[in-house]
Amino acid sequence: MAKTVTLVTGRVDPGRQAAVVGQYEEGTSRGLPPAIEETFLLRSDGDQLAIMTVWATRQELDGMLATGEEPFARRLIRTAGGTPEVQIFDVVSHVR
């Protein structure tokens, strides 16, 4: 089965970004759910943050979304005052 990547982005005031980093690190410190292979908190120049998550399969992601619970990445961006934008990509090819 193909892996899936989610990319959640949003503009967050630079003064609130440290809180996002702290919440991200706290939320991931206990380890990741089995459906998630890895995740990254990214910052571009300025006020853009992104959380990229690699899911084991699309079915795992769809199962999480079906719960109706707000996903962790969206919640982090939203509670910091950003408007989360979500993109979902199926991995077509991968080189390491």
Count of CA atoms in the C-beta half-sphere (13 A) of 74: 10
Q: Phi, psi (5° rounding) for residue 31? A: 100, 170
The domain defined by 4-90 folds into: Alpha-Beta Plaits (3.30.70)
* pLDDT of res. 69: 93
| Whole-prediction pTM | 0.94
Query: Residue 2's pLDDT band (boundaries 50, 70, 90)?
Result: confident
Give the residue extent of every domain in the chain.
Answer: 4-90
Give the model confidence (pLDDT) of 33-90 as tens digits.
999 999 999 999 889 999 999 999 999 999 999 999 999 999 999 999 999 999 999 9
